[in-house]
Amino acid sequence: MKNKPFFFLCSFISLSLLIACEDKDVKQSNKNNNKVVAFVNYDKIYLSQLRDETKQFSAKYGISFSENKERYKKTAKFILDELILKKIYFQEAERLKITTDEDELENYLRHVVGDYSKDDFSRMFELRDIDLSKWKAQIRENRLFEKLIAEEVKDKIIVKESEIIIYYKAHLNDYMLPDRVQALQIVVNNELEAESIYNKLQEGAAFFDLAKTKSMSPEGDKGGDLGFFSRGQMPKEFDDAIFNLKVGEFSKVVQTPYGYHIFKVIKKKPAKIMSLKDARGKIMEKLRKEKENKEFMNWIDNLRKKSVIVIKEDVLSGI
């Protein structure tokens, strides 16, 4: 409170006067907070809501508005738009009689809580100074919104097989699989040991066996198998050594920040285009997302057009 520093300096009479002034300020503040900043059909959005949401936004993202009033107003307008949309969403859910009952909420909470007991879960919220009842209310709103979007948007999306085929043929380059190799490695800590292993390999020792007994890498137990990979997935030193080898060849000792390595290529797969069968799932997901986004924006626009939205600019300007 801005007058608090005077508390320890005031006499009893001065303090009484100060408290009277503060009471007047609080009443005025409450009066201002109760002002309606926007009407959304039959619902109201109060200045207090807008101020609280803006304060939470500031805390969440570590933004200070103390020295930038214009930035504060711009952020408040953005948040007001979000509050308006939220009202529209839940008015539509009410119109469609979409609800979230207690059993559904409890099942969802049990999924979130996992192995926590109710007491441990409540204690965790207390330690973090989070209001559990408000958190549950937010979860309920989120679930209601998810159900609304599922019913009004997602469940209406259909991706035809013909659309998948057309997209695949038009974007073949996006489904090009690069050259890949399957390689083994042996990695040790010092160069002398690496050279000794290299000499044994030249004499005919089995790479797989030496990897199992000598390599310090995690895949050593599997004979040093790195699996299949393409250029750029491994460190540059790996690529430079491995992709120049033929199948069955092993490299000289290669030093990297991880140690001293010897590589052996055991298989190569040339570049090829992914088959439609293999690409189908990715294309389906991509086209579905695109359609969902487009349908969602159209749905929102239509809801906005059907809604009566009045923003009290005089109240908003005084925020």
Cα end-to-end distance, the chain, whole Å: 18
- Domain positions in the chain: 38-95+158-170+277-319, 102-152, 179-270
Taking the model in full, what pTM does it have?
Answer: 0.64
Burial class of residue 90 in the structure, from the number of CB atoms within 10 Å of its CB (0-12 exposed, 13-18 middle, 19+ buried): middle
Q: In what order do the strands lie in the sheet with 254-256?
A: 225-230, 180-188, 259-269, 254-256
Residue 159 in tokens = 């991706």
Residue 180 in tokens = 């890949």
pLDDT in tens, 43-55: 999 999 999 999 8
What is the pLDDT tens value at each position of the chain, 319 positions in all? 444 333 333 333 333 333 333 344 434 445 556 899 999 998 999 999 999 999 888 888 888 887 788 888 899 999 999 999 999 999 999 999 999 888 887 787 777 666 667 677 677 777 777 777 878 888 888 889 999 999 999 999 999 999 999 999 999 999 999 999 999 999 999 999 999 999 999 999 999 999 999 999 999 999 999 999 999 999 999 999 999 999 999 999 999 999 999 999 999 999 999 999 999 999 999 999 999 999 999 999 999 999 999 999 999 887 7
CATH tag, 179-270:
3.10.50.40
Query: 63: which residues sit within 8 A by CB, 6+ positions away?
Result: 57, 71, 75
